Amino acid sequence: MVNISITKGLDIPIKGQPEGAVQELPKPQTVALSLKPFEEIKFKLLVKPDDIVKIGQPLALDKDHPERIFASPAGGVIKEIRRGHKRHPTDIVIQLNDTEEYVEAKRLNLSTASREEVLKALLAGGLFANIRQRPFNLLANPKKIPRSIFVKALESAPLTPSAELQVVGHEEDFATGLHALSLLTTGPVHLIYREGSTCKAFTEAHHVTAHTATGPHPIANHSVHIHFIDPIESADAVIWTVTAYDVVAIGHYLRSGQPLLTRIVSIAGPGIIEGRAGFVRARAGHPISALIAGHVPKGYFRYISGDPLTGDKVEADDFLAFYHTAFTVIPENVSREFLHFFRLGVNKFTASGCYVSGHLNHSHRLYDFTTNQHGEPRAFVTGVPYDKVMPMNISTMLLCKAVMAEDFEQADELGLLEVASEDFALPTFVCPSKIEMTTIIKQGLSHYAKEVLH
């Protein structure tokens, strides 16, 4: 067992923290299979508007890996297929029937199942969309055997539900999922949970090598775990990553023969009506309009599918994205603050100490964040603020500059293979130059992957 302990990082003290018991939402009229996170995939659509579909029915497949399908999260009628840049499909919208039918799958007995049988079952159920691969943070290639699999059973991003919440009531599914993953790798399945967790599904898990972690965000990022346990040294390495929810979804499918349709989602942020921030049990691809209802007052707000650091801006007629377990609302800044540069900033958060609030003992205070960036993009000034929130042995500024210059040989030496774009969310947040480092790294990984893997 390894205890990963970090001090570099930052827990953002944002208002609107979710709390309380999980609430049940009414069945929505529509849901969507979100394909936005899979920009690198060339899709072949298997349905068209007005087609009748069942839960678990393939709606699209990966042209490069036709065995990898993307399954329907609902039973009903295809209402709309939305497209984005270069007509890349972004959402397959389904109008739900009163009674939804399933595509039944054969249950698998893991005590006698082979790796090929488990692999075939997960591919048929669309579960390979839940498994990512490092380096490059792409969808896992089912034709490659990973040297290890990392399961993160903790969350540290602001306003997201804990991993324990996703597992409660699904302990048997979680255990089944871990067993299945252990059959897919020649090496260990690394389970990382927060130090002090009392969840027996984590602390008493079988078929895994267990580790604990403690520290501020980004302690839950896969890159941090891999960096300290099984570092990536070449582009040929194959490591798979999943979350606790993904493991539950895998186990549920193998045990029941049916996809898991719900997840715990937080509705949170400073834009939520006071006292209404909390947790709900939502459908995969839940409509944003249903999450807004009763939680957001009138006014100008930014809706975010996901957490405020790495989530995607959405509108009321959009849907919760494929991987997201949080819905965040932040007031939209629509006016300039008069003489803001002369104010002491007692009521404003600062990570650098430029406001008075950074020198006061406000360790438990939460702040009203808005979408105001308090500045505009300009050149890099110093890498010191970034290194204070980067727990890995990586020079944040130098790596970003190498990627921007497309010097991937230098970027490789600086640690590009070890990271994903989410690892640069905090450096972007504290950046005095307002540089979107998450976008830089995401594009750099995509370009480098094309050079190395094709």
The model's pLDDT over 21-41, given as tens digits with 9 standing for 90+, comes to: 999 999 999 999 999 999 999
Verify that 323 and 177 share a domain, yes or no.
yes
Verify that 329 and 381 share a domain, yes or no.
no
Instruction: Look up the domain containing 246 and give its range.
Output: 1-333
Q: State residue 341's pLDDT score.
A: 61
Residue 359 lies in a domain: no
Verify that 280 and 329 share a domain, yes or no.
yes
Residue 442 phi/psi, 5-degree rounding, is -60, -45
Last residue of a domain, one of 301, 333, 365: 333
Task: Give per-residue burial for 435-449: e unless 16+ CB within 10 Å, then b.
Answer: bebbebbbebbeebb
pLDDT at 359 over 70: no
Q: State residue 377's pLDDT score.
A: 87
Residue 176 lies in a domain: yes
Name the pLDDT band for 281 (thresholds 50, 70, 90): very high
**204 CB burial (10 A radius; 0-12, 13-18, 19+):** exposed
Please, are residues 273 and 299 in contact by the beta-carbon 8 Å criterion? no
Residue 351 phi/psi, 5-degree rounding, is -90, -15
Residue 317 lies in a domain: yes
Verify that 115 and 3 share a domain, yes or no.
yes
Verify that 293 and 392 share a domain, yes or no.
no
Residue 353 lies in a domain: no
Q: State residue 339's pLDDT score.
A: 63
Once rounded to an integer, what is the mean pLDDT over residues 96-119? 93
Strand order across the 132-134 sheet: 3-5, 209-214, 189-194, 148-153, 239-243, 132-134, 138-139
Once rounded to an integer, what is the mean pLDDT over residues 360-389? 83
Residue 342 lies in a domain: no
Verify that 62 and 198 share a domain, yes or no.
yes
Verify that 132 and 191 share a domain, yes or no.
yes
Q: State residue 361's pLDDT score.
A: 59
What is the per-residue pLDDT across 205-246, written as a single tens digit (0 to 9) for each?
999 999 999 999 999 999 999 999 999 999 999 999 999 999
Tell me the Ramachandran region of residue 196: left when phi exceeds 0, alpha when psi lies from -120 to 50, beta otherwise: left
Please, are residues 414 and 395 in contact by the beta-carbon 8 Å criterion? yes
Once rounded to an integer, what is the mean pLDDT over residues 382-408? 95
Return the HEC string of 428-445.
HHHCCCCCCHHHHHHHHH
Once rounded to an integer, what is the mean pLDDT over residues 374-382? 85
Residue 357 lies in a domain: no
Question: Could you tell me where the DSSP H helices lie in 37-114?
Answer: none
Verify that 150 and 74 share a domain, yes or no.
yes
Verify that 327 and 390 share a domain, yes or no.
no
Once rounded to an integer, what is the mean pLDDT over residues 305-322? 97
Last residue of a domain, one of 280, 306, 333: 333
Token pair for 317: 């007629």
Q: State residue 346's pLDDT score.
A: 60
Verify that 81 and 200 share a domain, yes or no.
yes
Q: State residue 334's pLDDT score.
A: 76
Residue 338 lies in a domain: no
Residue 289 lies in a domain: yes
Last residue of a domain, one of 333, 360, 381: 333
pLDDT at 99 over 80: yes
Verify that 197 and 312 share a domain, yes or no.
yes
344 contacts: CB under 8 Å, gap ≥ 6: 355, 356
Domain count, the chain: 2
Token pair for 273: 């009506």
3-state secondary structure of 268: strand
Give the whole-number percent of the chain exceeding pLDDT 70: 94
* Among 255, 308, 240, 244, CA closest to 277: 308
CA distance 259 to 341: 53
Verify that 87 and 164 share a domain, yes or no.
yes
